[in-house]
Amino acid sequence: MLPHIVYKSSPTKWTSRCAAMQLATARGKTMRMISSSISSRLLSSLSPSVQCVSFDSRRRIPSSISSLSLFMRNIRSNKDCYHPNQNLFRNFSSSLSSSDYPGNGHFDIPESSTLPRPPLTMFTEDEQMVRDMARQWSNEVLRPLVREMDEEEKMRQSILDGLFECGFMGMEIPEEFGGSSLNFTSACLVVEELSRVDPSVSIIVDIHNTLTNNAVQFWGSAALKQKWLPRLASDTISSFALSEAGSGSDAFAMKTVAELSPDASYYTLDGTKLWISNAKEAGVFLLFANANPSAGYKGITAFMIDAQCPGITIGPPEKKLGLRASSTCPVTLENVKVGKEDVLGEVGMGYKYCINILNEGRIGIAAQQVGIAKGCLDAAMPYMEERKQFGTSIGDFQGMQHQYAQIATEIRAAELLTYDACRRKESGISFIKEASMAKLYASQVAERTASKCIEWLGGVGFTRDMPVEKFYRDCKVGSIYEGTSNIQLQTIAKMVKKEYEN
C-alpha cells in the first residue's frame, strides 16, 4: 500500500497509514534507501577527519547545516574522493550492487562534467544534502505538530529552536558570523521542503534568510554585522516591517517618521506598521521609516531595531484565513529612540534597499508556493491510487490522469521558473523580471493545485482529516504578500516593453 497522509481520529496530531510517516511516495522511500547506501559507503572510504563529522544516526546525513558545511569542506580536502568539476560520488558508484537499487539492477549517477549545461534542478552535493536534511526534519519533527499549531494559531517554541539548531536560519550568513556560507538556492530549497509540510514555518525561514539576513550582509556597517549576524544565525528571529495602513502596494507612501536628534546621535521613531509577519516572535525588526518627509520616498531609511526597545508595542495577531501559526501583527512605535549606528546603509537609501531585497524575497515566496503545490500532490496521489470506485483506482481513470498530468506539468514549470531565478541571482545577472514571473506563476499554480487536489480527494478532501484544505488556505496569500500579482504583472510588462523598445 502506498503511503498517504491523514490525521488520527484526534484532530490534534498528524500520522501516516504507513510505517514511514516521513515519506510521501514510494519513490521517495527508494531514493532515501539509495542515499543512505551511498552515504554509508562514502563515509567508510573517507579519512577519519571526514568521518568525525556529526551525522544523524538513522539517516546518515549531517545532523545540522553546520555539520554539513564541515563535511563538505573535509571532503573537498580529500583529493582521493572529490574533484571540483566531478560528481561527488562518482568514484564510489562502482561499489554499488544491484541490491542498492530495488529496480532494474543498476544505478546511474549523472556526471555533471559531461554536461555542457546541467539542468536547472541538478543541484550540487551541498544543495542536495541541505534539501534532504530539511525534508527529514519537516517530516519527522514538524509534521506531528502542524495541525495543533494551526488550530491554536500559535508557533511552538520547539519548532523555532529546531530551525536554529538545524542551521536553517543562517544559511547565507558567513561562517565567521556563525552561519553556514551556503548559497541562495540552498535557502530556497529549505523553504520549499518546509512548505510541503507547513507553510507557516517556511515563511519564518524565508523572511529571515532572504530579506533580513541578506539586507544586513549587503548594506550593514561592520559594527551592525558584528552586532546582528551572529544572533540572526543562532537565536534571534527577525521581522521585516514595511507595510502600513495607507501604504500597501504603494509602499513608499508610509507615514512612520524618524526624527534626528539635535546632536545627531539618535533618531526618534513614531508610527504604526501593519501586517508584520513574525512580529510576535521577533527579536529584531528591519524597519523602514522616513527620516526626511519633505524629500518624499527619497527620505525613507532602513533601521535595525531591537524588539526590546522602549516604546515598541506588538499588537494581537490577526485572525487569518491561512498561515495561522505564523504571527502577523501591528507594530506601534511611540517615541522609540534608535542610535544612529543602527541605520542600515545610508540615510535616504531605504527605498532602494527595499526594492532590491524584495526582488530576492519574491523568489523565496515562489519556492514556498512550489512546496505547497508539491505537498498537495504528496497527499492526493497515493490516495487516488488506493481509493477504488467501480473496481478501479480513481487515479487510473483517463479523465483523472489528464488532470494530474496537467497539474504536474504546471508544478514543474513553476519549479523551473523559480530555480532559474535563483541561478540568475547567484550569477549576478538581472533577475527582476524572472523573480516576478516565478512568484506570479507559482502562486497561481499552488492555488490551482490545492483546489484540484481537494476535488480529487472527494468528501475527505473537504475535511480537516487531510492536509490539503490547509494548503488551500495557506496558498492564497501567495498572490498578495511581497508584491501582489497585479504588481508582478506590471513589473513584467514594463520590462518586456523595454526589451522591445531597445
> Helices marked H in 3-156 — which ranges?
26-45, 48-51, 65-77, 125-137, 146-152
Catalytic residue check, 482: yes
Parallel, antiparallel or unpaired: strands 300-306 and 328-339: unpaired
Chain Cα centroid distance, residue 460 = 29
Q: Are strands 328-339 and 266-277 parallel, antiparallel or unpaired?
A: antiparallel
What's the CA dihedral at 482, 484, 488, 489 to 10 degrees?
180
Distance, in Å, from the CA atom of 301 to the CA atom of 228, rounded to the nearest integer, reads 18
Cell, residue 258: 524618524
CA 489/CA 502 separation, integer angstroms: 20
Grid coordinates representing 32 are 532515501
Find the DSSP H helices in 288-431: 350-386, 398-427
Triad 499, 501, 502: Cα angle to 5°: 70
Of 499, 420, 381, the residue nearest 188 (C-alpha): 420
Catalytic residue among 281, 482, 499, 501: 482
Burial track 81-107 (b if 16+ CB lie within 10 A, e otherwise) = bbeeeebbbbebbeebeeebbeeeeeb
**CA angle centred on 492, ends 452 and 476, rounded to 5°:** 30
Q: Which residues contact 391 (CB under 8 A, 6 or more apart)?
A: none
Give long-range contacts, CB 8 A cutoff, 24+ apart: 156-163: 159/201, 160/204, 160/237, 160/281, 162/137, 163/201, 163/204, 163/205
Hunting for cell 554585522 — which residue is that?
Answer: 225
Q: Which residues are catalytic?
A: 482
